[in-house]
Amino acid sequence: MAGTSFVAAYGQAGAYEVWLIDQADAVRGGARLYIYDGARLEAGQPGTPEVINLDAAAAGVGDGPGARPHMIAFDRAYRYAVIANVVSGHVYVMRAADRKIIASIDVGEQAHHAEVSPDGRFIIVANQNGKRVARIAADFAAERFTYNRADDLDLGALEDAAHPDNAPVCPLLVGNRAYVVPRGGGLYVIGYATTPMRVLRSFGRDAIAPAGCGGTVVGNKVYINSGTAQTSGPDRRSDRGITDRSACRGCPDSGAIGSSAP
């Protein structure tokens, strides 16, 4: 495959599937979603995957097919998948049960990664080339999704010496906050549930190296991955933890920052 993105979708009694995307151009046989049964994979018998042509599945739905589906995320119940298209601004919403794309929303220049908020009210999108964080209002029960570009947070307008390239990469959503690492280094902690969205705290590239990607939550800390082969290592700015010292119920916040390396 020219590129893959995978996630396990869990069902009843611990059953799960593994979803992978071939992100090559559709004309070269890409834009396909491959779905494997998890139990068969564990038994060493992957079998023949279910294959979904994403271009065909998105035809006639909302803003139609995007270009090069790149990353997958799910809502907390694993009932819906969101798929970001990295060469266009399209975000697909797919019903996991029947593999049907029920919405295609174009957020502009590029949708690198999309995440569903923990409460299911929003889909937050990293519009990398547009240097914007986009917000799609979501009603999964009614399967209705609304996007207004005026609600975007324009990170490009916030560039300065400490934040020289504010292309967002992958948002990490914790509670009502998004932790966004820009391509050029640094970190923005964004309150995404308010209108307008707003920056609650920021860190510069001296604190968090360029080329960041994802993050995770462990206890009361949010850990952010960043750095290249030149900046990673035990004495470099590679992985950072943000300690929760706020009153936010159940969600880490931006109280302090320190290295996670020994």
Do 1 and 20 contact (CB within 8 A), yes or no? yes
Distance between CA atoms of residues 149 and 69, nearest Å = 21
Alpha carbons within 13 A on the beta-carbon side of 106? 12
pTM of the model: 0.87
Residue 189 lies in a domain: no
CATH number at residue 55: 2.130.10.10
Residue 106 lies in a domain: yes
* Count of domains forming the chain: 1
Boundaries of domain holding 55: 6-154
Residue 62 lies in a domain: yes
Residue 171 lies in a domain: no
Residue 67 lies in a domain: yes
Residue 243 lies in a domain: no
Do 168 and 182 contact (CB within 8 A), yes or no? yes
According to DSSP, residue 182 is labeled B
**Tens place of pLDDT per residue across the chain (262 aa):** 555 556 666 666 678 999 999 998 888 889 999 999 998 999 999 889 999 999 999 999 999 999 999 999 999 999 999 999 999 999 999 999 999 999 999 999 999 999 999 999 999 999 999 999 999 999 999 999 999 999 999 999 999 999 999 999 999 999 999 999 999 999 999 999 999 999 999 999 999 999 888 788 888 888 888 876 555 433 344 445 555 433 333 444 443 343 333 2
